[in-house]
Amino acid sequence: MGSMSIVHWMIVVGVVVLLFGKGKISGVMGDVAQGMKSFRKGLQEDVPVETPPHNIQAASETSTVAKS
């Protein structure tokens, strides 16, 4: 009684197919697969962030030294 037998699962699957129809279930699964593919493609096309120059302070010190 605690777990469902194979007969129970067959009934559940049958009711789901009757409610949604075979075409809708396969269409939803196709949409999910396309979404996963586009998500993976988006991760691969990740643009690296441009890093700022490391010597900003050193550059400003040299410009004040040149002015004096």
Per-residue pLDDT of the chain (68 residues; tens, 9 = 90+): 567 799 999 999 888 888 888 778 788 888 999 999 999 888 887 666 676 666 656 555 555 555 55
Which tokens is 48 given? 């690296």
Q: How far apart are CA 33 and CA 35, in angstroms?
A: 5
Please give the backbone phi and psi of residue 30, each rounded to the nearest 5 degrees, phi first: -65, -40
Q: What is the pLDDT of residue 57?
A: 60
**pTM, rounded to two decimals:** 0.40
Closest CA to 25 of 34, 36, 35, 13: 13
